[in-house]
Amino acid sequence: MPDPTLLPVAEQVSLLRSGALSPVELIDQSFARIDAIDPHLRLFTWQDRERARASALEAERRYRAGGELPALLGVPFTVKEQIPVAGAPQTFGSALYRDHVASADDPSVQRLRNAGGILLGTTTMPEFGAKASTDSRLFGITRNPWDPSRTTGGSSGGAAAAVAVGAGAIAVGTDIAGSVRIPASCCGVLGIKPTLGAIPQVHALDLFNALGHQGTLTRSVADAALALEVLIGPDPRDPWSLRAPRRALRDAARADGDLRGLRVAWLPEVGKGPADAQVLQAGERVANALREAGATVAQHRLDLSDSGAAFEPTVLALKRRFLGERYPAQADQLDPGFRGWLDARLPQLSADELQHAQFARTRLLRRIQGLFAEVDVLLTPALSAPPLAADGTDGDFDWIHYLHPFNLSGHPALSLPAGLSREGWPLGVQLVGPWYAEDRLLRVAAHLQQRLPWGTPELGRWLP
Backbone φ and ψ for 297, nearest 5 degrees, come out as -120, 125
Q: How far apart are CA 158 and CA 85, in angstroms?
A: 16
Q: CA gyration radius for the chain?
A: 21
Residues 6+ apart with CB under 8 A from 442: 221, 224, 225, 228, 249, 252, 253
Known catalytic residue: 133?
Answer: no
Among the options 22, 30, 94, 155, which is catalytic? 155
3-state secondary structure 365-398: HHHHHHHHCCCCEEEEECCCCCCCECCCCCCCCC
Among the options 22, 80, 193, 384, which is catalytic? 80
Q: How far apart are CA 450 and CA 441, in angstroms?
A: 14
Q: How far apart are CA 141 and CA 164, in angstroms?
A: 17
Contact 447, 259 (CB under 8 A): yes
Known catalytic residue: 384?
Answer: no
Q: At what angle do helices 221-231 and 438-451 cross, to 10 degrees?
A: 160
Among the options 133, 156, 179, 220, which is catalytic? 179
CA dihedral 287, 292, 294, 295 (to 10 degrees): 0
Q: Write the DSSP symbol of residue 236.
A: T
Which candidate, 464, 459, 417, places its Cα nearest to that of 167? Answer: 459
Known catalytic residue: 241?
Answer: no
Catalytic positions are 80, 155, 179
